[in-house]
Homo-oligomer: A and B are copies of this chain.
Amino acid sequence: VTTKSGAIVVGVGDELLAGRIDDTNARLLSVVLRRAGYPVLRREVVGDDPDAIAVVVGRARADAAVVVVTGGLGPTGDDLTRFGIAKAFGAALRRDATAEATLRDAYARRGRPLPPGSLVQADIPEGFAAAPNARGTAPGLLRAADDGVLLAAPGVPAELEGMLDEILLPILATRPERGTPPKALQITTAGLAEAEIGALLSDLLIRGRDPIAGSYPKSGRVVLTLETFREGADADLALKVDAETIRDRVGSAFVGFGDLKLNEVVVRAAIEKKTTLAVAESLTGGLVSDGVVEVPGASAVFVAGIAAYKDEAKRAVLGVRAETLDAHGAVSEACAREMAEGARRLTGADVALATTGIAGPDGGSIEKPVGTTWFAIADAAGTVANRRVFLGGRAEIRAYARERAFDLLRRRFFGLPLDSAVKDGAGS
């Protein structure tokens, strides 16, 4: 049994070193391994060079109990991770029969011939096992021995995540080198900016405090993380006290405990309440509709989404009146209301939401700057409307609008005010 602890993360790829792609896997692994009791001691990125991979992997396994290598496991000539790892361990590569059968089967199911050279993905270093890849074709390489654990996984984020959940974490949970992870609790808020949250919680967001609070802005949401190294009931109590303080201070911006997605919160609430949904989108052009369909089980409540981008479509499909468009324009409270009401009428849904705004880069004015967005929600109780002006480029404006749409549905579903009140100086 080793006296090593912690983990080292190694990313492989010339495209990483050239700065062509972001190394999002390193951050994911940092979070996941830390929570599993293996704090990351070091991260490294090397190119597609078997010698360099061998040096870095050799160093990593000497320094840490767990090593995770990502990337370079595909079938092409610049996928060289298996050769570097084999070299680091002085192991020969041998063809794995199960991995070969799995590869052949994956192509057969798609009705495509197996490309020449792709069986290299079934070549596994001695002492390693082929780690099944539930979301792709390239298997991973796994070694779990007394002197440590090494997983080499594909660089494709979804495939890596699958291997972590299904293969690595169950192994790590049983190992003696496992440390005590901090106990953590997350809280999702929506409708307040990070700076507003920061002002409300300034006494909790102090370095060295335990529990320590951190705030991480995500599109349209702020996720707060509380972490404590206290143990047992003491830890739970400390987290609970701070969590209640936060819940109380953020008011209607409190979405729930955990890192919650607003579309999931809304669609699950609709499923539970047996409330059917429809969407009429201009600015967001399908993003809100997509956010509904993204949630498994959405088919029980989602009737239809209409992306009515041109004024003709708003009139012909949704029944927005020509006078409304003439008098107020498409980006107006009146148009948003008629879009929502039209979508509800057309689809027979219980609740219909509409968006209309200016995503830019052109089309803004002093009165209606780029980012101006009107929302409306029509339901049995009537129609409500709400306006926001989002900052950023076209993509950010549309992404914020999508999240705001779901936050408005959340607030409407749970009888909350459509806007969070910001109390000056509260909490400070």
Q: Which residues of A contact B (CB under 8 A)?
A: 14-24, 26-32, 34, 39-49, 52, 56, 74-78, 80, 106, 109-113, 115-118, 135-137, 156, 158, 162, 193-199, 202, 205-207, 214-217, 225, 279, 281, 284-294, 296, 298-299, 302-310, 312-313, 316-317, 346-347, 359-362, 369, 389, 391-396, 398, 422, 424-425, 428
A interface majority secondary structure: mixed
Partner of A286 from the list B30, B194, B287, B359 (CB cut-off 8 Å) is: B287
Q: Which residues of B contact A109 (CB under 8 A)?
A: 369, 389
| Contact present for B298 and A194 (CB under 8 Å) | no
Q: Which residues of B contact A207 (CB under 8 A)?
A: 48-49, 76-78, 80
| Contact present for A304 and B309 (CB under 8 Å) | yes
A44 to B48, CA, bound (A): 16
A66 to B224, CA, bound (A): 33
Q: Which residues of B contact A47 (CB under 8 A)?
A: 41-42
Task: For A103, give the chain B residue with the smallest CB separation.
Answer: B195
Q: Which residues of B contact A40 (CB under 8 A)?
A: 17-19
A202 to B158, CA, bound (A): 25
Task: For A194, give the chain B residue with the smallest CB separation.
Answer: B74
Ordered by A's residue number, 18 sampled pairs between the chains whose C-beta atoms are within 8 Å are A15-B225, A17-B40, A18-B40, A41-B52, A48-B207, A74-B217, A109-B369, A110-B391, A112-B193, A115-B198, A116-B199, A156-B217, A158-B393, A281-B286, A286-B291, A289-B307, A302-B307, A317-B347
| Contact present for A75 and B198 (CB under 8 Å) | yes
Q: Which residues of B contact A29 (CB under 8 A)?
A: 19
| Contact present for B286 and A77 (CB under 8 Å) | no
Expressed in whole angstroms, the minimum distance between the Cβ of A362 and any Cβ of chain B is: 8
| Contact present for B42 and A45 (CB under 8 Å) | yes
A288 to B289, CA, bound (A): 11
| Contact present for B34 and A27 (CB under 8 Å) | no
| Contact present for B158 and A392 (CB under 8 Å) | yes
| Contact present for A195 and B74 (CB under 8 Å) | yes
Expressed in whole angstroms, the minimum distance between the Cβ of A323 and any Cβ of chain B is: 21
Q: Lowest 6 A-B CB distances belong to which pairs?
A: A285-B293, A286-B289, A19-B30, A286-B286, A305-B307, A286-B290
Partner of A34 from the list B18, B284, B288, B290 (CB cut-off 8 Å) is: B18
| Contact present for A23 and B23 (CB under 8 Å) | yes
| Contact present for B296 and A285 (CB under 8 Å) | no
Task: For A35, give the chain B residue with the smallest CB separation.
Answer: B19
Q: Which residues of B contact A306 (CB under 8 A)?
A: 304-307, 317
